[in-house]
Amino acid sequence: MKRLATAAVLLPLVIIFILKAGVVQFAVLVFLLSLLGLDEFYRMALPQRRAEGRLAAVAGALSVFSLFAPDRIVPLMALTVLVLGFCLIELFRFREIPRAAGDAAIVLMGFLYVPLLLSHLILIRQLPHGVSWLFLIMVIVMSGDSAAYYVGSALGKTKLYPTVSPKKSVEGSAGGLAGSVAGAFIFKALYFHELTPLDCVATALLLGLLGQLGDLFESLIKRSCGVKDSGTIFPGHGGVLDRLDSILFAAPAAFYYAYFNF
């Protein structure tokens, strides 16, 4: 329900920005979201190493701009520099040898979890019908969230994954997927006419399922770190990662589907 409340406040601003902003301006937004998301991640997972966490957050977020390089090898080079650089930082700045491997792994995981996955939004924005694909992701995720909440509240009896997320139910998950499919068809009828019925079903099920798994994965991380919310940037509604957990998993799938099918 928190995600829905936040979306209701931010949705008009997001829609206007996506419609009006160019690719570079949109990339700046992705950079800022990556920066905030990474900082939250390291704040949760490496609370005792704030200096390294802040440096890793800035460096990882900056890597999204490598997508604009004319040579396609540059993004790979940027990721390689990040990995090597922070492995060396750990080598010479470790706190305790028994924790060194875990700390290094957490830093590198942050690069893969936030900027790597989130940067697919920039790639989507550059595709034909890129703006429509961005809105489709939002529609599928938000309609799935809404349907999952209301169906789960009314009919939910079978726990989906109680160890990770005690409140989620199988019935709510199924309702969420149905809501995602309905949202995709409505969006096709109103805006994205280039989609076929097969596209609506395939993208809704794929993105809807991955969005739910992304939500569960972030819940796993928070439980592992012993925190309720990833941050406090949205008072009463959590942090950036709490709002983007579904998008992080859905965006790459949307990009590859659009890239290979449109």
Structural domain boundaries in the chain:
2-261
Is the Cβ–Cβ distance between 207 and 253 less than 8 Å? yes
- Chain CA centroid to CA 112, Å: 11
What pTM was estimated for this model as a whole?
0.93
- pLDDT, position 6: 53
Give the tens place of pLDDT for each residue, 44-71: 999 999 999 999 999 999 999 999 999 9
Give dist(CA 132, CA 191) in Å, integer: 8
- Chain CA centroid to CA 70, Å: 26
Give the tens place of pLDDT for each residue, 68-81: 999 989 999 999 99
Question: H helices of the chain, where?
Answer: 2-20, 23-45, 50-62, 73-93, 97-111, 117-118, 120-125, 130-155, 170-190, 197-225, 240-261
Give dist(CA 230, CA 214) in Å, integer: 14
Supply the mean pLDDT for the chain: 93
Q: How many Cα atoms sit within 13 Å of 38 on the Cβ side? A: 33
Give the tens place of pLDDT for each residue, 71-119: 989 999 999 999 999 999 999 999 899 999 999 999 999 999 999 999 9
In the predicted model, is pLDDT for residue 236 greater than 80?
no
